[in-house]
Each structure stands twice: as structure tokens, then as C-alpha cells.
């Protein structure tokens, strides 16, 4: 479905918003069709940082490098398999580095990169927002659950 940019009316504004959402999210908000993540950079990045563990791992590494066991200790509930997969993905995308030291036994540390550190202020703002609104959200959930 091809769309052209228009100007002037409210419906034109809605069309432009739909185009932008389609561009960013990779999903046509009108038809529901979607494209793969590789062709939609914003969607790909949002998918990476919004999974269950990525932001928690980055937050855990905010104060400096940690060994795998240090990350596990800081994140109760994460399995070793899931943490390995998350760290690999974060390393692949350039959010963390993995440094292997030539020692016996070998020591491996993970640290945030400049890119990863650039996300931390945004992460902090999101955490502050979540903390500030968690009571309101809890009330809304309870009300919804009572009514439905």
C-alpha cells in the first residue's frame, strides 16, 4: 500500500502520523502488515533494549565491570542460559564488552561501552517514572480487575 504525504487537514495529519509509526515500528498501523526487524533500525533497537533482561544487565553494569557470577548475583531469577544469550546480544549490538584475561583460571569481565553508558540516563529516567507511577498503575490494575 503506497502512501503519499499530504498537508492541510486533520486527516492529512493522521496520515503523516501513520506513515511515521509505520517507518519507526516496521508495522503498517492501517493494514497490520509488518517487515523484518533488520529493515527497521528503530524497531530492532527497541526490541533489544526492551526484552526482559537487557536493561537490567545494563543497569547492573553501570558502576563498572563485573564477572558473570557478579551479574548472576545481582539479578535473581535469571538463568545462566538466558544471561549468556542476553550478554551475547548486548555485545553484538555494542552495548557491552567482554574482556578475557589470560589468567589461570581465565577471568572474564563484562562492562558497558560508551553506547551502553549513553543509554543509562534514559534508563534512569524510565526507572524514576516507573517508581513515581507504580502506585497509580497498581490502583488502575485493581480497578480493572474488579470491573472485568
The domains of the chain are located at 1-40, 51-147
Considering only the top CATH level, what class is 51-147? mainly alpha
Condensed to tens digits (0 to 9), the pLDDT of residues 79-124 reads 999 999 999 999 999 999 999 999 998 899 999 999 999 999 998 8
Whole-prediction pTM value?
Answer: 0.68
34 forms beta bridges with 27
Condensed to tens digits (0 to 9), the pLDDT of residues 126-139 reads 889 999 999 999 99
Residues 22-30: contacts with CB under 8 Å, at least 24 apart: 28/1, 30/1
Amino acid at each position: 500500500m503506497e502512501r503519499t504525504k499530504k498537508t492541510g487537514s486533520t486527516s492529512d495529519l493522521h496520515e503523516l502520523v501513520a506513515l511515521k509509526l509505520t517507518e519507526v515500528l516496521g508495522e503498517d498501523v492501517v493494514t497490520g502488515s509488518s517487515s523484518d526487524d533488520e529493515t527497521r533500525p528503530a524497531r530492532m533497537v527497541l526490541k533489544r533494549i526492551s526484552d526482559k533482561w537487557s536493561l537490567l544487565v545494563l543497569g547492573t553494569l553501570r558502576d563498572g565491570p563485573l564477572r558473570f557470577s557478579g551479574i548472576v548475583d545481582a539479578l535473581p531469577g535469571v538463568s545462566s542460559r538466558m544471561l549468556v544469550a542476553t550478554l551475547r546480544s548486548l555485545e553484538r549490538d555494542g552495548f557491552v564488552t567482554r574482556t578475557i584475561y589470560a589468567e589461570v583460571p581465565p577471568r572474564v569481565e563484562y562492562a558497558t561501552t560508551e553506547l551502553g553508558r549513553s543509554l543509562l540516563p534514559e534508563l534512569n529516567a524510565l526507572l524514576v517514572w516507573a517508581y513515581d507511577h507504580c502506585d497509580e498503575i497498581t490502583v488502575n490494575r485493581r480497578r480493572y480487575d474488579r470491573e472485568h
